[in-house]
Amino acid sequence: MLTAFVLLPIFSFLFFLLPKKFQPAYNILLTLITAAISSRFALLVISRGSGIVENTQMYFWGSEIKFTIDLLSAFFILVVNFTVLTGAVFSIEYMRMYKEKKFTDFSFHYFSFFWLLYSMLLVCMFHNMVAFLVAWEIMSVASFALVIFEYEKPEVIKAGINYLVQMHIGALLLIIACILVYNETGNITWDGLTSYFYNHKNIPLFLLFFIGFGIKAGFVPFHTWLPHAHPAAPTHVSGIMSGVMIKMGIYGILRVLFHVQSDLLAIGIIILVISSISGIAGVGTAIIQHDLKKLLAYHSIENIGIIGIGIGTGLIGVATNNDLLSILGFGGGILHVLNHSLFKSLLFYTTGSVYLNTHTRIIDNLGGLIKKLPHTAILFLFASIAICGLPPFNGFVSEFMIYNGFAASMISSTVGIKILIMFAMLSLVVIGGLAIFCFTKAFGIVFLGTPRNIKTESVTEMKWYTLFPQYLILILIVTIGVFPKLISKLFFDLAGMFTHKTIAIPENTMTTISSISYFVLIFFGITLLIYLLKKYFTRNKIIEQSPTWGCGYTGNADKLQYTASSYAENYSHDMDNLLNLKTHYKKIEDEDIFPEERNYETHSESLAEEKMFVKISGSIKRFLNKLAFVQTGKTQHYILYMFVLLIALILLTIFNVI
Instruction: State pLDDT tens for residues 204-259.
Output: 999 999 999 999 999 988 888 999 998 899 999 999 999 999 999 999 999 999 89
- Full 3-state SS string of 605-637: CCHHHHHHHHHHHHHHHHHHHHHHHHCCCCHHH
User: Which range is least confidently modeled, 28-32, 363-367, 573-577?
Assistant: 573-577
Tell me the C-alpha distance between 310 and 424, whole Å: 9
pLDDT value for 551: 61
* Strands 52-60 and 581-584, bridge-based pairing: unpaired
Q: What is the pLDDT of residue 630?
A: 81
Measured between alpha carbons, how far is 106 from 16 in angstroms, rounded to an integer? 9
> 62 or 111: which carries more pLDDT confidence?
111
**Whole-number Å distance between alpha carbons of 481 and 516:** 10
Q: What is the pLDDT of residue 548?
A: 59
Mention every residue, 6+ apart, whose C-beta is less than 8 A from residue 543.
Answer: none
Residue 230 neighbours by CB under 8 Å, 6+ apart: 238, 241, 242, 293, 294, 296, 297, 300, 348
The two beta strands, 63-69 and 581-584, are unpaired
Whole-number average pLDDT of the chain: 88
383, amino acid identity: A
Q: Give the rounded percent of residues in the chain with a pLDDT score beyond 70.
A: 95
Report pLDDT digits (tens) over 364-406: 888 889 989 999 999 999 999 999 998 889 998 999 989 888 8
Which of 250, 180, 172 lies closest to 217, judged by CA? 250
Q: Is the peptide bond before 221 cis (omega within 30 degrees of 0)?
A: yes
Distance CA 97, CA 277 (A): 38
- Phi/psi at 596 (nearest 5 deg)? -70, 165
Q: Supply the pLDDT for residue 14.
A: 93
Report pLDDT digits (tens) over 142-173: 999 999 999 999 999 999 999 999 999 999 99
Q: Which stretch of 182-196, 243-257, 263-277, 589-603 has the lowest confidence by average pLDDT?
A: 589-603
Give pLDDT, residue 392: 87
44-64 average pLDDT score: 77
Q: Is the pLDDT of residue 617 over 80?
A: no
pTM for the predicted model, two decimal places: 0.89
- For residues 638 and 347, what is the distance between their CA atoms, to the nearest angstrom? 53
Among 44-53, 429-438, 487-496, top mean pLDDT goes to 429-438
* In the predicted structure, residue 345 carries a pLDDT above the cut 70: yes
Q: What is the pLDDT of residue 567?
A: 83
Q: What is the pLDDT of residue 547?
A: 63
Sign of CA dihedral 608, 609, 611, 613: positive
| List of long-range contacts for 479-482, beta carbons under 8 Å, 24+ apart | 480/338, 480/339, 480/342, 480/393, 480/394, 480/397, 481/386, 481/391, 481/392, 481/393, 481/394, 481/395, 481/396, 481/397, 481/517, 482/392, 482/514, 482/517, 482/518, 482/521
